[in-house]
A and B are shown apart, each in its own frame.
Chain A
Amino acid sequence: MSHILEAHDIVKQYATHRALDGVSLNVPKGCIFGLLGPNGAGKTSLIRIITQITAPDEGYVLFDDQRLHPNHIQDIGYLPEERGLYKKMKVGEQLLYLAQLKGLSEREAMDKLKVWVKKFDIKTWWTKSIEDLSKGMQQKVQFVATVMHEPKLIILDEPFSGFDPINANLIKDEILELRQRGTTIIFSTHRMESVEELCDHIALVNKSRIILNGSKKEIKNQFKENSYSVRYHGELGALSPDFELITSKDTSEGVQQATIRLVGDATINQLLGNLIKQVELVSFHENIPSFNDIFIKAVGSDTPDESK
Chain B
Amino acid sequence: MKNIFLVLKREYLVRVRKKSFIVMTFLTPVLIAAFYGIIVWAAVGSFKSEHKTIQVIDESGLFKDKFKSDKNTTFELISGPVAIAQKKLKGKEDNLLVHIPADIMEYPNSLQIYAEKNIGPMLKNRIEKVVQQGLRNIKLSKAGITQQVIEDANQDVDAQTYSLDDEGKSQSSSTMAAYVAGYAAAFLLYIFILVYGAGVMQGVMEEKSNRIIEVIISSVKPFHLMLGKILGVAAVGLTQFVLWGVLTFGVSSATQTLFGFNRFTATQEVMNKQAEQADPEVKKEMEKQQNNTLQTIENFSKSAQSLPIAKIFFCFLFYFLGGYLLYSSLYAAIGASVENQQEAGQFTFPIMLPIIAAIVFAQLAINQPDGSLAFWTSMIPFTSPVVMMARIPFGVPAWEIVLSMALLVLGFVGTTWIAARIYRIGILMYGKKVNYKELSKWLFYKG
Query: Using a CB–CB distance below 8 Å, which chain A residues touch chain B?
Result: 15, 48, 51-55, 57, 70, 73, 76, 78, 80, 82-89, 97-98, 100-102, 142, 145
Contacts and interface: CB of A to CB of B under 8 A. Distances in A.
A100 B6 contact: yes
Nearest to A54: B447
B424 to A, nearest CB: 9
A301 B229 CA distance: 49
6 contacts: A70-B221, A84-B215, A100-B6, A101-B219, A102-B219, A142-B215
Contact of A55 (B14, B217, B446): B446
B14 A83 contact: no
Contacts of A78: 214-215, 218
Contacts of A97: 6, 10
A76 B218 contact: yes
B210 A101 contact: no
Contacts of A80: 211, 214-215, 218
A89 B6 contact: no
Interface in B213-232: 213-221
Contacts of B218: 51-53, 73, 76, 78, 80
B441 interface: yes
Contacts of A86: 14, 206-207, 210, 212
A204 to B, nearest CB: 23
A85 B212 contact: yes
Contacts of B441: 15
Contacts of B24: none
Nearest to B210: A84
Contacts of B217: 53
Interchain residue pairs A-B with the least CB separation, the first 4: A84-B211, A84-B212, A101-B219, A82-B211
B242 interface: no
Contacts of B10: 97
A89 B14 contact: yes
A32 B312 CA distance: 63
B interface SS class: helix
Nearest to B425: A54
B3 interface: yes
A88 B10 CA distance: 12
A52 to B, nearest CB: 7
Interface string B1-31: 0010011001000100000000000000000
Contact of A53 (B210, B211, B214, B446): B214
A48 B7 CA distance: 21
Given A85-B212, A88-B14, A55 B447 contact: yes
Contact of B214 (A70, A82, A87, A100): A82
A53 B217 CA distance: 6
A88 B377 CA distance: 41
A86 B225 CA distance: 14
B428 interface: yes
Interface of B: 3, 6-7, 10, 14, 206-207, 210-221, 428, 441, 446-447
A55 B215 CA distance: 17
Contacts of A142: 215
Nearest to B209: A84
A85 B206 CA distance: 10
A54 B222 CA distance: 10
Contacts of B219: 73, 98, 101-102
A3 to B, nearest CB: 21
Contacts of B207: 86
Nearest to A97: B10
Contacts of A76: 218
Contacts of B7: 101
Given A51-B218, A55-B447, A87 B6 contact: no
Given A85-B210, A101-B7, 18 more contacts: A48-B428, A51-B218, A52-B218, A53-B214, A53-B217, A53-B218, A53-B428, A55-B447, A73-B219, A78-B215, A80-B211, A82-B211, A82-B214, A84-B211, A86-B14, A86-B212, A98-B216, A101-B216
Contacts of B216: 98, 101
Contacts of B215: 78, 80, 84-85, 98, 142, 145
A53 B221 CA distance: 8
A61 B217 CA distance: 18
B184 to A, nearest CB: 34
A85 B213 CA distance: 9
B220 to A, nearest CB: 6
Contacts of A52: 218
Given A51-B218, A53-B428, A78-B218, A83 B446 contact: no
Nearest to A142: B215
B220 A101 contact: yes
Contacts of B221: 70
Contact of B210 (A54, A87, A102): A87
B446 A57 contact: yes
Nearest to A87: B210
Contacts of A51: 218
A80 B211 CA distance: 9
B446 A84 contact: no
Contacts of A102: 219
A54 B424 CA distance: 9
Contacts of A83: 211
Contacts of A55: 446-447
